[in-house]
Structure 1
Amino acid sequence: MYRIWIVEDDPNLALLLRDCLEKYSLAARCANDFEEIMAQFHQYEPHLVLMDVNLPSHDGYYWCRQIRKVSTCPIIFISGRSGDMDQVMALEYGADDYMTKPFHHELVIAKVRSQLRRVYGEYAGEARERVVEESGLALYLERLELKWKGRTVTLARKEADLLELLLLRYPLVVTREALLYKLWDDQQFVDENTLNVNIARVRRKLQEIEVEGGIETVRGSGYKLVLLKPDKLGEHA
């Protein structure tokens, strides 16, 4: 079931949108702390975001830019601002669509479904999709999905970038420096613990789809991906 995240500070409208989405068999959750938008985004990992422009603290344009640093999931703006420049700014900052209030709920559902089909469904353009695969573990970089033996888990952008490098170098060790550069370009401004946090997140994602093996820490060097075949599991017990 696709997960839709509603970032709207009008509680009545947010609940109406949630109920409407759930009526059409879409999972939906409303943001509840507008100071911790990115923490909630990582926790929920939505397939699509409905984003208001006028929000407490930072506006929707700001949060759109932050989400685009870690994810390519569709973002649809819902706003009372109807000016052309507002819509231009939303698209320039990475949004996929823009709707002005008031709007019919049927139109919201139609636009949400359209974006989901475009990115994840029948219009996703799989022929052009980048896929990195090793020993049955497949990473779909445009969809931000990881598949293993019929199981699928959704990744954040940084998690996908990290796994991409580990898969491309498999079964070799990837240094911490190489991972830091891949994820943040300029590693001197990144807290060392940030990489540890992302490694831990990816390990949990691998466990979710029951990958045999996982990410192994090579002390003093870095990390490597270990993919075990069923007949070799006993050797690593």
Structure 2
Amino acid sequence: MFKLLLIEDDESLFEEIKERLTGWSYDVYGINDFNEVMKEFSTIKPDCVIIDIQLPKYDGFHWCRLIRSRSKVPILFLSSRDQPADMVMSMKFGADDYIQKPFHFDVLIAKVQAIFRRTYEYNTEPNIVKTWCGATVDIEQNLISNELGSIELTKNEMFILKQLIEQKNKIVSREELIRSLWNDERFVSDNTLTVNVNRLRKKLDALNLGHYIETKVGQGYIAKEEGS
């Protein structure tokens, strides 16, 4: 049974989300003391974190940043704020997805299921180490390394890179990436994919690889192979 940590201070909403997710055989935990979020996170060791932005003491961005500094656990934001900057900020801090309140519970469940599929199922593939442009791509560890060093990617970033290098030198459409990553386009904003690709490219710049991921306007993205 997967464990979810729901960091939400609205008690009625917490109980409703817990009831819905428990009905899908997820084990849902809450926060007892919002001053001790990281302590409770370490004790629970969740497989996924669902977090609100507006919280007592510190906001969700603060806790997302701290969680991501210690763990690669997938993080899903819930928020009643409708500013695009909030979605962008959550992705920059390492979140995997974002849902705006009010939301339909079917959407929440679909997103949670998709997160678990791409986080805990695709890593069972036997071919977990690939090479690209002279770099070693360790899919299981979410690491990419070359002579310049090693960088750690989020689950989403690695999944996107994996999809692109498996079809290197070929254009992969945005629609194909969205379907592969989130399984159902209806539950994803187009901006979310853009944020993830831009964040991936920026990280790859540290290894002098960012320019090998090209945007093909109106078509999608392509991972070029060195020398091609």
CA distance in 2, matches of 1:117, 1:27: 17
Instruction: Count matched residues.
Output: 135
Check 1:50–1:58 CA distance in 2 against 1; reply closer, same or farther (3 A cut).
same
Cα deviation digits, residues 95-127 of structure 1 (max 9, x gap): 000000000111111000100111101466563
Q: Aligned Cα RMSD in Å?
A: 2.3
CA distance in 2, matches of 1:118, 1:6: 20
Check 1:108–1:85 CA distance in 2 against 1; reply closer, same or farther (3 A cut).
same
Check 1:36–1:118 CA distance in 2 against 1; reply closer, same or farther (3 A cut).
same
CA distance in 2, matches of 1:45, 1:143: 18
CA distance in 1, matches of 2:114, 2:2: 13
1:48 is aligned to 2:37: no
Counting aligned pairs with the same residue, the percent is 38
Q: Is the 8 A contact 1:2 1:47 kept in 2?
A: yes
Structure 1 residue runs of 4 or more that deviate by more than 6 Å after TM superposition:
none
1:10 is aligned to 2:10: yes
Which residue of 2 is the match for residue 135 of structure 1? none
Q: Which amino acid aligns with 1:25?
A: S
Q: Is the 8 A contact 1:119 1:143 kept in 2?
A: no
Q: Is the 8 A contact 1:120 1:143 kept in 2?
A: no
Deviation, structure 1 residue 143? 7.2
Give the gaps of 5 or more residues in structure 1.
131-139, 145-237
CA distance in 1, matches of 2:100, 2:18: 18
For the pair shown, the structure with the greater C-alpha radius of gyration is: 1
Q: TM-score, normalised by structure 1?
A: 0.53
Q: TM-score, normalised by structure 2?
A: 0.55
CA distance in 2, matches of 1:66, 1:122: 26
State the SS of the aligned residue for 2:115: helix
1:89 is aligned to 2:89: yes
Q: Is the 8 A contact 1:52 1:77 kept in 2?
A: yes
